[in-house]
Structure formats: C-alpha cells, structure tokens
Amino acid sequence: MRYWLMKSEPAEYGIDDLARDGSVAWFGVRNYQARNFMRDQMRVGDGVLFYHSSCAEPGIAGLAEVAKPAYPDATQFDPDGKYYDAKATPDNPRWFNVDVRFVKKTRLMPLAEIRGYPELAGMRILARGNRLSITPVDPDEWRHIVAQL
C-alpha cells in the first residue's frame, strides 16, 4: 500500500464535494510526473491526503483512497474542453486518471502546521518550487499526519 497527497482547488472541487459525491475521477492532470504516479504506481486502496490548494488557507482537508486504477482521462479527447490534447487519441491516450473515494473530512491541517513538524520536513509539498498536484507520501509521514488529524 502506498500513500499520496493530491491537491485540488476547493473552488473547483473540494473535500465537501467529494463527501457529497462519494467518489470522483481525478481528471485534468497535465503533468507527466503526476500522470506517471497515477498510471504506474497508484493502486486501489492506496491512501490519499486530500489537500486544498490555491485558496486562502491551503492544507490537508480530508482523507480519501484510490478507488479505481488508472484509465484514460476522457477530457483529453473533447475538442471543446479545457483539458483537450490534440495529440491524444483513444488508441494512444496521453493522459490518465484514477477514481478517488471519500473516506473522511478532517480538520484543516494548514501548510504552516505541516512545515512545523520536523517529522514532515522531507515531504515534497514542502520542497521549494514543487508544483506537482500529486506527490507520494512516506508511510511514516502518513502515520504522523493521520495521528494529528
């Protein structure tokens, strides 16, 4: 089992939306490294830290899990959509997504709090210049965060 931090802008889709819907296709990822995490490493049952980004107070807002393994992201084929990719074809898709299932809404653990724990100093979310929407989380980091929530 692996653990992941997945960022979403709450104005677009937040933890309350996931709680309402139960699960969601994590579509629209257009970064090759994040795509590769989904396509090559994520497995059903993997734990997810649901992270609110690009908002007044970014931070971990809940827990989720991978509910469906990677499959082609349908948004890449829609010429009228914002995630369209003219180089992608159904026979040769470039972009993938997984489905994520709601587990629990938690208190918000702000980025500033995450920075304050020495045990979390190695998290990619804290690395200078990190803009990835999906990053792996070490099992010890996962346990520490879940214990604080």
Structural domains present in the chain: 3-127 (3.10.590.10)
Q: Report pLDDT for 5.
A: 98
Q: Report pLDDT for 60.
A: 98
pTM for the full model?
Answer: 0.94
pLDDT in tens, 26-82: 999 999 999 999 999 999 999 999 999 999 999 999 999 999 999 999 999 999 999
Output the furthest CA–CA distance in the chain (Å, rounded): 47
Distance of CA 100 to the CA centre of its chain: 9
Of 80, 71, 143, the C-alpha closest to 100 is: 71
Cα(97)–Cα(111) distance, rounded to whole angstroms? 25
Q: Report pLDDT for 130.
A: 83
> Can you list the positions of beta strands (E) in 34-139?
47-52, 59-72, 96-110, 134-137
Q: Are 107 and 149 in contact (CB under 8 A)?
A: yes
Q: Is the pLDDT of residue 20 over 90?
A: yes
pLDDT in tens, 90-146: 999 999 999 999 999 999 999 999 999 999 999 999 998 888 899 999 999 999 999
